[in-house]
Chains A and B, each alone.
Chain A
């Protein structure tokens, strides 16, 4: 199963894509993914129910979040209401250690995204803050990367023994599926995604 683990819809302040149009695009353009995870900026979208769209287009549509820490942006998979009470998702100054600890407690997975990017990526902050404890997975393929950003991310992952995921970081419809993650088996719930990530058997893909 191939999932784009990093997408934004109009729920994000800089997202311009409607979820319905993502689905239409994937099917009309035969994009080689089986679904995507909506990781809206600084929030978890509790209210939206995408199951009718998922059924209509035969796609897996899951929800996560992208939060902001001193090490840059971090994707969270397996968000639950108890996890949401542990820290303020809307903050731009979260402590990565707090995010990782809360995710560990509530059986969620946190993964720094576009870590090779200046300012909002983890690599840029290692010199100042040191290597953080508890990171196991980072995004090594990001559809919005420029220059050497993905190479920096992969180099860091190799050096620090992190596993790598991929996501398009799409903000407009036509950018979905540019990068993704392949899993050995199919699933369609956030809990199963967490299990699959914890199992560690996945591969980051560039589909650009």
Chain B
């Protein structure tokens, strides 16, 4: 169900789960598009030479997925801020999922705060953060 008004939102509500495309090809293509040419995004082998366990997904691509998830949930939302803390790299070709949950509602200012967590298939938190979202 998509959200159109702040009055529809309840504290603790889950956003629909989101499974981002964290394949090597998607990460590599994104890195190319934004002009990030490092091998860490395009090759598992080159990433290992740089000290990573395997190729990684660009951080701003992960942030893009967080934003996409919020817009899937509330298409009219205006995202004021996404504040992320990268605890560990998001590894390419590993399955990840993103969860979001409403943790603050300020009806006066029409602002909602959402906790966001990116976990891998072992349920380890790789990235977490919060988004501040304006929903009329």
Known pairs A25-B12, A144-B87, A175-B115. 13 more at Cβ < 8 A? A16-B115, A18-B104, A24-B103, A146-B87, A146-B88, A146-B124, A171-B128, A172-B103, A172-B115, A172-B117, A174-B101, A174-B117, A175-B125
Contact residues, A49-76 vs B (CB, 8 A)? none
B83 CB within 8 Å of chain A = yes
Residues of B in contact with A, size category: 10 to 19
Give me the interface of A with B, judged by CB distance under 8 Å. Answer: 14, 16-18, 21, 24-25, 28-29, 144, 146-147, 171-175, 208
Please classify the interface of chain B as helix (H, G, I), strand (E, B), loop, or mixed, using the class held by over half of its residues.
Answer: strand
Answer whether A16 and B130 are a contact pair too, CB < 8 Å, given A144-B125, A146-B125, A172-B115.
Answer: yes
Among A28, A171, A208, the residue within 8 A (CB) of B12 is A28
B11 CB within 8 Å of chain A = yes
B85 CB within 8 Å of chain A = yes
Give me the interface of B with A, judged by CB distance under 8 Å. Answer: 11-12, 83, 85, 87-88, 101, 103-104, 113, 115, 117, 122-125, 128-130
Answer whether A29 and B88 are a contact pair too, CB < 8 Å, given A18-B104, A171-B128.
Answer: no
B11 touches A28 (CB 8 A): yes
Nearest Cβ in chain B — how far from A182, in angstroms? 23
Which residues of chain B have C-beta atoms less than 8 A from A24's C-beta? 11-12, 103
Q: Which residue of B lies closest to A16 (CB)?
A: B130
Which residues of chain B have C-beta atoms less than 8 A from A18's C-beta? 104
B88 touches A171 (CB 8 A): no
B104 touches A29 (CB 8 A): no
Most B CB within 10 A of own CB, among A16, A144, A174: A174
A14 touches B12 (CB 8 A): no
Which residues of chain A have C-beta atoms less than 8 A from B12's C-beta? 24-25, 28-29
Among A29, A147, A172, the residue within 8 A (CB) of B129 is A172
A21 touches B104 (CB 8 A): yes
A16 touches B11 (CB 8 A): no
Which residues of chain A have C-beta atoms less than 8 A from B129's C-beta? 16, 172
